[in-house]
Chains A and B, each alone.
Chain A
């Protein structure tokens, strides 16, 4: 069935360093890939997304890359700050169903 694998499960970085989270998906029909940030006790919030017709998208310190051939996509956070500490979820979806398959999450800790 449809599956999204996410690595690593936990990630600790020093403030100012970069963080990279990777996901792979199984459904070759997937064409939309959002990333969500969830702070402790709060709702997941969309931080960036990418569609299958582009290979990279940036928004300030956040970027996402997509390799459709290899069926993997990654989240890159540069110049990390303590407020970036949260759990990050990737997801994959296709326009036929609109339902997301989420990865298992990455707990990012930015050490001051």
Chain B
């Protein structure tokens, strides 16, 4: 298994541009999570899906952030328009149904200038 696959690994964009981060969970995993990691705030849960349905998006910072999971093998996190304070590492993670350990992807390091 290739694990959780995220793309791109690095993204540098100008303030105001749209950014789309992508994630492919492990096959058979029913839950998918998007986290943001910064030095100041640590690991923050943004949103999670169970069986492709968004369950809790209370961590999404504002309306500029949106996430979709159109099928069991793909999810996107979009920021529009991006701002410098959105600079962070964004991790996607997946887990099997039930309370089991997450497997994290390699993350996307986003820099907004």
Interface residues of A (CB under 8 A from B): 31-32, 34, 36, 42-46, 49, 51, 89, 93-95, 97-105
Contacts and interface: CB of A to CB of B under 8 A. Distances in A.
B75 interface: no
A45 to B, nearest CB: 7
Contacts, number: 49
A95 B99 CA distance: 6
B101 A34 contact: yes
Contact residues on B (Cβ < 8 Å of other chain), bracket: 20 to 34
Classify the secondary structure of A's interface with B: loop
B98 interface: yes
B104 A43 contact: yes
Contacts of A93: 99
A43 B106 contact: yes
A95 B98 contact: yes
